[in-house]
Homo-oligomer: A and B are copies of this chain.
Amino acid sequence: MRNIIRAEIITIGDEILFGHILDTNTRWIGNELTSIGLLPVRKSSVGDNREDILRALRESFGHADVVIVTGGLGPTRDDITKQVLCEFFDTRLVIHPDALALVTGFFARRGRELTELNRKQAELPANAAYLANKWGTAPGMWFEKDGKVLVSLPGVPFEMKNLMEHTVLPRLKRRFPTGSIIHKTIRTIGIGESFLADRIAGWETALPPHIRLAYLPSFSGVKLRLTGTGTDDGLLTRQLEEEAARVLPLIEQFVYGYGDDEIEETTGRLLTEKNATLSTAESCTGGFLAHKITGIPGSSAYFTGSVVSYANEIKMNVLGVRKETLDAYGAVSEQTAREMADGVRRLTGTTYALATTGIAGPGGATAEKPVGTVWIACSSAQRTVTSLLKLSPFRDVNIEQAAMHAPRLARQFLA
């Protein structure tokens, strides 16, 4: 039985608590702790308030083996983390000579005098080990008590990350040698969470106890994350690969990638392999499809451009959609989607083209075509395929989902 090392993360600062800045530190720290085999069990944020910080320290240090605290180490009046840590560990602040030398050097290199406020940054609680911060002025601190570790780091992401990578993580790894935790994520699109769960229920039930499954739903499909815990990285990796191979036949038509693969990325790789190019003609997605495709660095190798034909005149004059088609079937129709895709492909001379036309909402719906009705088309010189989507009542959801389903259609077309 593995020894589980529980970790908690505490973020200190009004700016995060009140939601004025987005906390990206704890996500990063959680990932890194997991990677060295610690188990993050809780993250919390409190403001620059003595009682709230003390309570968070008490509650976290009481339950976890490792506590990482970030923030509140600046020189200004509102930063009180060091004083509260002194209170919590029953000690007092003393000037640390190495910290003082580092801060003095930091300002000297910038040609500035050391102020009294800066000098305070070299003060550390007497029982803390000093963690040199070469990337800023606030030192890190390492406390040990009752077999547990508490680390206090500056909240500036760049300084925190460097301190973690170069000092804290290697030290934690030595202090708490643990087993392995390995993740494997399977990305699906076009099937809801509960339908997915029904399909793979038998496989899920048969998973061994050291491999856990999580469903991560979002606009862009449902991700299945397998987490294996054990002692042997290689063995775990093989076991996760085996489980992924076992579940694949049950859901193959919905799987578009693994790990961090985005659907635009896997589609882009397919195009690159085939030495092919792509263009898009967009009505309801209004440029969002091209935006997703061009979000991938290097996409200019296979993506030439898009015509966002919001007005029917552009559909006709730029893309060559026929007036008769628009009159007979309307702008939101299989026929229009088909002519848009063919038109942009001819206009831009690409191997393939994608088109979207639909009613994003809130306006524009009819009895036969409610909000959320979207036609997508994928065209090559040989053939054109189309797909009807019945999405949601909500404009932003419809735009986002249509822009996901279009590359999904391209992927099927290309495969």
Contact A46 B52 (CB under 8 A): no
Q: In the complex, which of the residues B45, B215, B287 contacts A42, with contact meaning CB atoms closer than 8 Å?
A: B45
Residues in B with CB closer than 8 Å to A305 are 307-311, 314, 318
Q: How far is the CB of A376 from chain B (nearest CB, A)?
A: 16
Separation of A299 and B305 alpha carbons in the complex (Å): 22
How far apart sit A41 and B14, CA to CA, in the bound complex (Å)? Answer: 9
Interfacial chain B residues near A212, Cβ < 8 Å: 78
Q: A178: shortest Cβ distance to chain B, in Å? A: 15
> Do B75 and A348 have beta carbons less than 8 Å apart?
no
- Are the CB atoms of B313 and A294 closer together than 8 Å? no
Once A19-B26, A28-B19, A282-B287 are accepted as A-B contacts, the answer to whether A63 and B55 lie under 8 Å apart by CB is: yes
Residues of B within 8 A of A317 (CB): 347-348
- Please give, as numbers and ranges, the residues of chain B lying within 8 Å of A135 by CB-CB distance: 394
Tell me, in angstroms, the Cα distance from A268 to B183 when the chains sit together.
46
Report the separation of the CA atoms of residues A193 and B118 in the bound assembly, to the nearest whole angstrom. Answer: 10
Whether A78 contacts B394 by the Cβ 8 Å rule is no
Q: Is A349 close to B, CB under 8 A?
A: yes
- Complex Cα spacing A399 to B287, Å: 13
Stretch in A29-37, A94-102, A165-173 touching the partner: A29-37
Contact status A19-B15, CB under 8 Å: no
User: Which residues from B are CB-within-8-Å of A310?
Assistant: 290, 294, 299-300, 303-306
Per assembly, the copies of the chain total 2
State in angstroms the CA–CA spacing of A131 and B194 once bound together. Answer: 21
Interface contact B27-A22, CB-CB below 8 Å: yes
Give the residues in chain B near A175, CB-CB below 8 Å.
none
- Chain B residues with CB under 8 A of A269: none
Decide: A115 and B15 in contact? CB cutoff 8 A: no
At the interface, yes or no: A365 with Cβ under 8 Å from chain B?
Answer: no
Min distance, Cβ A153 to any Cβ of chain B, angstroms = 15
A40's partner among B17, B22, B204 (CB-CB below 8 A) is: B17
Cα–Cα distance between A164 and B17 once the two chains are bound (Å): 18
Q: Is A47 on the interface with B (CB-CB < 8 A)?
A: yes
Q: Contact: A18 with B34, CB < 8 Å?
A: yes
Q: Which residues of B contact A233 (CB under 8 A)?
A: none
**Complex: chain B residue closest to A361, CB-CB:** B297
Q: Is A156 part of the contact surface with B, judged by Cβ < 8 Å?
A: yes
Tell whether, in the assembled complex, residue A291 and residue B286 are in contact, meaning their CB atoms are under 8 Å apart. yes
Q: List the B residue with the shortest CB-CB distance to A15.
A: B216
B42 touches A19 (CB 8 A): no
Contacts of A298 in B (CB 8 A): 363
Please tell me if A158 contacts chain B, counting CB pairs below 8 Å.
yes
In the complex, chain B residues whose CB is within 8 Å of the CB of A362: 297
Question: Can you add 9 more A-B contacts, CB < 8 Å, to A55-B63, A305-B309?
Answer: A14-B225, A15-B214, A20-B214, A22-B24, A22-B27, A23-B23, A287-B289, A290-B308, A291-B291
Binding site for B on A (CB under 8 A): 14-24, 26-31, 34, 40-49, 52, 55-56, 59, 63, 74-79, 110, 115, 117-118, 135, 137, 156, 158, 183, 185, 193-195, 197-198, 204, 212-219, 225, 227, 280, 282, 285-291, 293-295, 297-300, 303-311, 313-314, 317-318, 347-349, 361-363, 390, 394-397, 399
Q: Sample 24 A-B pairs with CB under 8 A, ordered by A number.
A: A16-B27, A17-B40, A18-B31, A19-B27, A19-B31, A76-B193, A79-B215, A115-B198, A118-B194, A135-B394, A158-B219, A158-B397, A282-B290, A287-B291, A287-B306, A295-B395, A295-B399, A297-B362, A304-B313, A304-B314, A306-B306, A306-B308, A314-B348, A318-B347
For the complex of A and B, list the 4 residue pairs with the smallest distance between their C-beta atoms, beginning with the closest. A287-B290, A286-B294, A19-B30, A287-B287
